[in-house]
Amino acid sequence: MKKIGVLFGGVSSEHAVSCLSAASIIPNIPRNKYDLVLVGITKDGRWLRFSGDMDALANDTWDQDPSCVPCILSPDRATHGFVQMNPDGTAESIYVDAVFPVLHGKNGEDGTMQGLFMLAGIPFVGCDLLASAVCMDKTVTDMLLDYHGIRRAEWRFITKANKDKVDAFADECEKALGYPMFVKPANAGSSIGVSKARNREEFFAAVEEAFRHDAKVIAEREIVGQEIECAVLGNDEPTASVLGEIASGADFYDYDDKYINDVSELFIPARVSEEKSDEIRKIAVEAYKVLGCTGLSRVDFLLEKATGIPYLNELNTLPGFTSISMYPKLCDASGIVYPDLLSKLIELSFERTEEI
Ligand SMILES: Nc1ncnc2c1ncn2[C@@H]1O[C@H](COP(=O)(O)OP(=O)(O)O)[C@@H](O)[C@H]1O
Ligand SMILES: [Mg+2]
């Protein structure tokens, strides 16, 4: 029996989503193969071992549970796991074979956690420090995709240090991209801080809003067409799932649409020709490899209606895993049921152990 540490919550704007993902994952990890140690990170960054029930996790009240005790991941390789501080003042080491970080966004999906796992010498599910960090920052992802000739929507970016030059930035974006434009924080997720700007006034408001979430803001040409997603799974020989499509009920696929209203419609498989599907799946695997992903990533595309060109939008190294999430659904449609997918992800973390 292997012991797996499951981490959830986190100091991130996607904290609540992570708790939802964890509430779906935890009951589905096969218990005949794995013992679990659940450790949550509060919004203000405290680490607590949790042994309460899944309802408290799903509605994000888990940190009030009487079962919670302080429990931190030790960078000391001899511990190979957590150190729990008991109420009687004693400390206890908890060995784990691997960790499954069910964390989205900053301080979880961006390489920071992965660095800690690497330092501690503990195998972990998902991408390593570098790939996580690269995929988290849309400007860095975009530069590498441009370098490798993987097509994406034309883009420009501005940093907070240059905020006083936002007029010149608007001029440049208007010339290069045109309205409507998508404006987003370089580091975020779940559509938080993303807006569609239809004119200069909206553009300034959008930039302002995006700066509330990050010190770097990116503007992109709008790609009108279908929103397509591909689940990629594996280490050296990754495989691409059948494609999924999201027909958003809102103006675009925003936070409420993703997690609250549930008005968007999913199509699995996506409504594209077999030829187009093969083309997109090939690009997904290529992007996964050039960015150094391992374990899993959801690769998102915008397929332009007018031209039939697939533009890569982003890679999510720890995509949503809630019951309505695309990644597990795409794997399921490709023949890997949810508990098997979770086992596979854990096994992939061991495959990479020598490299840690
Ligand atoms: N260039 C674009 N053209 C058209 N729609 C876009 C574009 N960029 C983003 N969107 C819309 O905004 C949503 C959120 O943007 P995305 O880049 O995926 O950010 P996040 O990392 O927050 O998911 C997308 O799912 C899509 O609906
Ligand atoms: Mg997205």
Question: 277-329: per-residue pLDDT in tens?
Answer: 999 999 999 999 999 999 999 999 999 999 999 999 999 999 999 877 999 99
Structural Rg of the chain based on CA atoms: 20
**What is the CA(22)–ligand 1 centre distance, in A?**
24
The residue to mutate among 14, 184, 303, 315, having the most atoms of ligand 1 within 8 angstroms of its beta carbon, is 184
**What is the CA(314)–ligand 2 centre distance, in A?**
6
3-class SS of residue 253: coil
The residue to mutate among 182, 195, 218, having the most atoms of ligand 1 within 8 angstroms of its beta carbon, is 182
The residue to mutate among 154, 177, 191, 212, having the most atoms of ligand 1 within 8 angstroms of its beta carbon, is 191
**What is the CA(313)–ligand 2 centre distance, in A?**
7
3-class SS of residue 74: coil
182 lines ligand 1 (CB under 6 A): yes
184 lines ligand 1 (CB under 6 A): yes
Q: What is the pLDDT of residue 45?
A: 98
CA-CA distance, 242 to 224, in Å (whole number)? 22
252 lines ligand 1 (CB under 6 A): yes
The residue to mutate among 154, 177, 194, having the most atoms of ligand 1 within 8 angstroms of its beta carbon, is 194
Q: Which domains does the chain have, with CATH numbers?
A: 2-124 (3.40.50.20), 135-151+223-355 (3.30.470.20), 155-221 (3.30.1490.20)
Ligand 1 atom at minimal distance to the Cα of residue 153: 1
Residue nearest to ligand 1 atom 25, measured at CA: 253
Q: What is the pLDDT of residue 260?
A: 65
218 lines ligand 1 (CB under 6 A): no
Q: What is the pLDDT of residue 309?
A: 98
Residue nearest to ligand 1 atom 15, measured at CA: 191
Q: What is the pLDDT of residue 192?
A: 84
CA-CA distance, 29 to 228, in Å (whole number)? 28
Q: What is the pLDDT of residue 38?
A: 98
- 223-270: pLDDT as tens digits: 999 999 999 999 999 999 999 999 876 677 777 766 666 667 899 999
Measure Cα distances from 326 to 126, 219, 270, 288 in Å. Answer: 17, 26, 12, 17
CA-CA distance, 148 to 137, in Å (whole number)? 17
Residue nearest to ligand 1 atom 1, measured at CA: 222
For residue 320, the cross-strand partners are none
Ligand 1 atom at minimal distance to the Cα of residue 252: 27
Residue nearest to ligand 1 atom 27, measured at CA: 253
Q: Could you tell me how many helices (H) and strands (E) the chain has, helices first?
A: 11, 16
Residues of the chain below pLDDT 50: none
For residue 92, the cross-strand partners are 84
CA-CA distance, 310 to 331, in Å (whole number)? 21
Ligand 1 atom at minimal distance to the Cα of residue 253: 27
